A and B are shown apart, each in its own frame.
Chain A
């Protein structure tokens, strides 16, 4: 194909194993390099993450590597006027000059008050992000970090993945599932965790006969493949789930009583004011011993039959079981009541509830690798479509409890945490983590994002203590991601922070576009010294940056643990795969790896010792592979320590550079751990109730306004999200959906992916229901203007489709770039986030999820 010259002129022809970085999934890839030029990237068949198959984004990564518009040298702003869409007047400078200035500023901040350093990152570059969050920032001494797309992340899902599945994320066990219910997500069918592997597994399962029901306002790629598309009003998924719970528990009596009694807190007794009834001596939660007719600690050794349902007298007061409380809680959600808010007919709600409950095959077992396990062949899964609202916590809880009540949680066929148990490589026992039970008998996750050698991360959730941190870590510290920082800074009088952002390091994120409307982040940091470490001079850099540093792409850098081992790794049986990301070409021009620059900055700032100790903690390194505290290591040396620490002396960096990935088979006790680890899933969230009271108290003490703790509910309920704000004339709800060939806004600069969108009918348009459009005199292709009730106007062209709810406008991802430094992306697609305010009002304080939809009106406008 490419042998245009004589073959003898080829001096190099090699394949390099590595990891993708075009979205957060970090699939296994290999690259073909000829004479120093990368000519092909494809899936690595040796890697269990993707098994040799890649999505369009991963295949197109080569055009990111060689994008002529990349930033190649450090840039300094010459125009002192910062403005959205302004011209920064970039001037190229050398690395020494850039780092000298940054060092001077950081030294001053650290002496004055280290909290003056702020950090924003992106989940796409997970490994460098974790290196910064785990080592540099705590060693420097600032807690002020946030993920710029954090509000659009899994927030509520991450919390419940932790409490119910001992992980950060979840995926259904489709290999043993026969009914998959998708609430606003597209697992294996569009975009979701472990997409490339899940796509294979979901396709196999569908051929085998697994039924898919997609609940979504837009007929996207999951709904296209679903056996049934159930269009729903945005933000009302929680009402649908509550009605399904009601049907399963109170009408059809389709629930797994054994699971709820023995593996959840179903039998725990609740006092009238909503706390676990506790044993006076031990403080342990009480259950009702039906034989003794007495309330006894759940862990009493000689318990008789434990009552799952009912109300019992404890110390002369009536106490309901958690199970009874849940039944009563959802009783008001009749299918008819839910139909009214969801626009899904009561008949449909009854049908899918019954199908879901029956598919679970409650009571059945399956033998896998010689172990007889419960087989619950139904899963309910959800993501941004369902929980991208200010009722995120309650909505997500309701959907999760669908799995819990049928016992389809952490067992074959059900919803699995993303690999919450790992016994480590057979030869070394590393890395390892596993959940256990806390003093109340409830599930406590193992080590999650870092690799603590002890395999556990106790002390969660952190109690609310104060409201002094703009990322709300001291107030609501349990969500993994948040982007609230800019909104809090803009609201600083309400929060009364005692420090201001002096320096912002913005790594890999385009926060002006990715958080909400750009004015929010611009206002927050316009007086801050901003360092953007990124691939392009993007909207954020051009508006805010004082210095831009040229980052390496994922094809030019070394990351020893690109996915932090378990995240976005496929669930279910199969292989563990521990992958290297390594440069397929040396960094072009003067691009540098963020992690290497942080090591250098650490040395310049005199914080190498704490960084080294924290690195040991992050990677779980113990003697003899731990870093010595006072030595200055290179990034390659650190990678070598990490590999040898985990996989033995003979498997260092050299071994991984050659082999790319180490695999070993998963054990059934790791994958389907629920029957093997006795820890109860908390259906009742006492901690949320307690946290809510503490948050309210702190807000009152500090005189803070707008801290609404009504959403801190221990059991699910539903209320409309605030983005449903009614106002005359604003008659539609704008939502975004995701397509499998774009990642957030970053891939709009990729010409191959742009070519897809230009040939595809919907993704560069604003989709509107045909009948709705006709009523408004809008024809297909018309230029339209969409105005949000909270301000913000976007423009685009109308695409008339039958595949969208009549009250909804649907926009793909988040396009419409305007930066001079991303000329290819400029004007492509629609900038959805312009419609989104970011403030307390539109944020679910339990999960720090944001309303990702907006009440709007639409009108036809003249051709530009």
Chain B
């Protein structure tokens, strides 16, 4: 499955060139959030690699992953297109609220 990834906010700097903060990935069909994190860690390293160290079944708190606008919560959640087609998905990656 084709995945279009857009990095925003604090994770945008993972790609040294901000202009390349949007890129494509391939994920096996039926892949889940954990697989997606692995793919992102392979390409971008931290903070995705750090996220994989967690023993929690939930996604780490320092990352927010939206698949076609829907937020992922657990690592075993499937990455599927919102409209059910196999045309691929758009994944937006963000850092959450900080400070205050």
Which residues of chain A have a CB within 8 Å of any CB of chain B?
110-111, 113-114, 119, 121, 129, 133-134, 137-147, 150, 449-450, 454, 457-460, 462, 469, 471, 473, 480-482, 607, 609-610, 613-614, 616-618, 622-623, 626, 628-629
Query: Which residues from chain B contact A137 at a C-beta distance below 8 Å?
Result: 97-99
Q: Which 8 A-B pairs have the closest CB atoms?
A: A145-B99, A459-B61, A143-B98, A610-B8, A141-B9, A138-B9, A613-B66, A134-B97
Q: Is the CB of B64 within 8 A of A617?
A: yes
User: Which residues in chain B, 43-100, are within 8 Å of chain A measured between CB atoms?
Assistant: 56, 58, 60-62, 64, 66, 69-71, 73, 82, 90, 92, 94-100
Contact of A473 among B73, B94, B98 (CB under 8 A): B98
> What is the bound-complex CA distance between A752 and B97, given in angstroms?
38
> What is the bound-complex CA distance between A111 and B97, given in angstroms?
20
Q: Is the CB of A141 within 8 A of B95?
A: yes
Q: Which residue of A lies closest to B93 (CB)?
A: A610
> A121-B100, A473-B98, A614-B64 are known contacts. Are A138 and B69 too (CB-CB below 8 A)?
no
Q: Is the CB of B100 within 8 A of A481?
A: yes
> What's the nearest-Cβ distance from chain B to residue A800, in Å?
41
> What is the bound-complex CA distance between A318 and B76, given in angstroms?
41
Query: Which residues from chain B contact A614 at a C-beta distance below 8 Å?
Result: 64, 94, 96-97
> A458-B56, A629-B92 are known contacts. Are A140 and B97 too (CB-CB below 8 A)?
no
> What's the nearest-Cβ distance from chain A to residue B76, in Å?
14
Q: Which residue of B lies closest to A471 (CB)?
A: B99
> What is the bound-complex CA distance between A459 and B56, given in angstroms?
8
Query: Which residues from chain A contact B92 at a C-beta distance below 8 Å?
Result: 609-610, 613, 629
> What is the bound-complex CA distance between A113 and B56, given in angstroms?
31
Q: Is the CB of B8 within 8 A of A139?
A: yes
Q: Is the CB of B13 within 8 A of A458?
A: no
Q: Is the CB of A613 within 8 A of B58?
A: no
What's the A-B contact tally at a CB cutoff of 8 Å?
110
> What is the bound-complex CA distance between A481 and B99, given in angstroms?
7
> What is the bound-complex CA distance between A121 and B95, given in angstroms?
20
> What's the nearest-Cβ distance from chain B to residue A284, in Å?
14
Contact of B18 among A111, A139, A150, A610 (CB under 8 A): A111
> What's the nearest-Cβ distance from chain A to residue B61, in Å?
4
> What's the nearest-Cβ distance from chain B to residue A364, in Å?
40
> What's the nearest-Cβ distance from chain B to residue A845, in Å?
17
> A111-B18, A610-B94, A614-B64 are known contacts. Are A133 and B99 too (CB-CB below 8 A)?
yes
> What's the nearest-Cβ distance from chain B to residue A476, in Å?
12
Cβ-based interface call for B6 (8 A): yes
> A141-B8, A462-B62 are known contacts. Are A450 and B99 too (CB-CB below 8 A)?
no
Contact of A114 among B12, B60, B97 (CB under 8 A): B12
Query: Which residues from chain A contact B61 at a C-beta distance below 8 Å?
Result: 457-460, 462
> A111-B18, A462-B61, A617-B64 are known contacts. Are A119 and B69 too (CB-CB below 8 A)?
no
User: Which residues in chain B, 17-44, are within 8 Å of chain A measured between CB atoms?
Assistant: 18
Query: Which residues from chain A contact B71 at a C-beta distance below 8 Å?
Result: 613, 616-617
Best-surrounded residue of A139, A449, A469 (most CB of chain B within 10 A)? A139
> What's the nearest-Cβ distance from chain B to residue A98, in Å?
25
Q: Is the CB of A144 within 8 A of B8?
A: no
| 10 more CB-based (< 8 A) A-B contacts, given A138-B96, A145-B100, A610-B6 | A133-B98, A138-B95, A142-B98, A150-B100, A449-B97, A458-B58, A469-B98, A471-B99, A609-B8, A623-B82
> What is the bound-complex CA distance between A119 and B74, given in angstroms?
31
Query: Which residues from chain A contact B94 at a C-beta distance below 8 Å?
Result: 138-139, 610, 613-614
> What's the nearest-Cβ distance from chain B to residue A145, in Å?
3
> A458-B56, A459-B56, A628-B69 are known contacts. Are A146 and B10 too (CB-CB below 8 A)?
no
Contact of B10 among A138, A458, A628 (CB under 8 A): A138
Query: Which residues from chain A contact B56 at a C-beta distance below 8 Å?
Result: 458-459
Query: Which residues from chain A contact B60 at a C-beta distance below 8 Å?
Result: 459
Query: Which residues from chain B contact A613 at a C-beta distance below 8 Å?
Result: 64, 66, 69, 71, 92, 94
Contact of B99 among A110, A111, A146 (CB under 8 A): A146
Best-surrounded residue of B9, B60, B61, B70 (most CB of chain A within 10 A)? B9
Q: Is the CB of A607 within 8 A of B8?
A: yes
> What is the bound-complex CA distance between A140 and B13, given in angstroms?
11
> What is the bound-complex CA distance between A449 and B97, given in angstroms?
10
Query: Which residues from chain B contact A110 at a C-beta distance below 8 Å?
Result: 18
> What's the nearest-Cβ distance from chain B to residue A498, in Å?
12
Query: Which residues from chain A contact B99 at a C-beta distance below 8 Å?
Result: 119, 133, 137, 143-146, 471, 473, 482
Query: Which residues from chain A contact B18 at a C-beta distance below 8 Å?
Result: 110-111
Query: Which residues from chain A contact B100 at a C-beta distance below 8 Å?
Result: 121, 129, 133, 145-147, 150, 480-482
> What is the bound-complex CA distance between A661 and B11, given in angstroms?
39
> What's the nearest-Cβ distance from chain A to residue B83, in Å?
11
> What is the bound-complex CA distance between A146 and B8, given in angstroms?
21
> What's the nearest-Cβ distance from chain B to residue A682, in Å?
18
> What is the bound-complex CA distance between A457 and B61, given in angstroms?
8
> What is the bound-complex CA distance between A143 and B60, given in angstroms?
17
> What's the nearest-Cβ distance from chain A to residue B6, in Å?
7
> What is the bound-complex CA distance between A747 and B98, given in angstroms?
29
Query: Which residues from chain B contact A129 at a C-beta distance below 8 Å?
Result: 100
Q: Is the CB of B58 within 8 A of A138?
A: no
> What is the bound-complex CA distance between A687 and B1, given in angstroms?
41
Query: Which residues from chain B contact A139 at a C-beta distance below 8 Å?
Result: 8-9, 94
Query: Which residues from chain A contact B9 at a C-beta distance below 8 Å?
Result: 114, 138-141, 610
Best-surrounded residue of B60, B71, B82, B97 (most CB of chain A within 10 A)? B97
> What's the nearest-Cβ distance from chain B to residue A80, in Å?
30
Q: Which residue of B lies closest to A438 (CB)?
A: B56
Q: Is the CB of B69 within 8 A of A145?
A: no
Q: Is the CB of A616 within 8 A of B69?
A: yes
> What's the nearest-Cβ distance from chain B to residue A462, in Å?
7
Q: Which residue of B lies closest to A627 (CB)?
A: B69
Query: Which residues from chain B contact A469 at a C-beta distance below 8 Å?
Result: 98
Q: Which residue of B lies closest to A607 (CB)?
A: B8
> What is the bound-complex CA distance between A457 and B60, given in angstroms?
10
> What's the nearest-Cβ distance from chain B to residue A120, in Å?
10
Q: Which residue of B lies closest to A613 (CB)?
A: B66
Query: Which residues from chain A contact B95 at a C-beta distance below 8 Å?
Result: 138, 141, 143
> What's the nearest-Cβ distance from chain B to residue A161, in Å?
15
Best-surrounded residue of B8, B90, B95, B98 (most CB of chain A within 10 A)? B98
> What's the nearest-Cβ distance from chain B to residue A51, in Å?
30
> What is the bound-complex CA distance between A33 and B90, given in angstroms?
48
> What's the nearest-Cβ distance from chain B to residue A452, in Å?
8
> What's the nearest-Cβ distance from chain A to residue B63, in Å?
10
Contact of B98 among A145, A450, A609, A617 (CB under 8 A): A145
Contact of B70 among A141, A610, A622 (CB under 8 A): A622
> What's the nearest-Cβ distance from chain A to residue B13, in Å?
7
Best-surrounded residue of B10, B60, B90 (most CB of chain A within 10 A)? B10
Best-surrounded residue of A138, A140, A150 (most CB of chain B within 10 A)? A138
Query: Which residues from chain B contact A617 at a C-beta distance below 8 Å?
Result: 64, 71, 96
> What is the bound-complex CA distance between A558 and B11, given in angstroms?
32
Q: Is the CB of B97 within 8 A of A133?
A: yes
> What is the bound-complex CA distance between A140 and B6, given in angstroms?
13
Contact of B58 among A145, A459, A628 (CB under 8 A): A459
Best-surrounded residue of B9, B70, B100 (most CB of chain A within 10 A)? B100
Query: Which residues from chain B contact A618 at a C-beta distance below 8 Å?
Result: 97
Q: Is the CB of B10 within 8 A of A141?
A: yes
Q: Is the CB of B97 within 8 A of A141?
A: no
> What's the nearest-Cβ distance from chain B to residue A850, in Å?
16
> What is the bound-complex CA distance between A471 and B64, given in angstroms?
21
> What's the nearest-Cβ distance from chain A to residue B90, in Å?
8
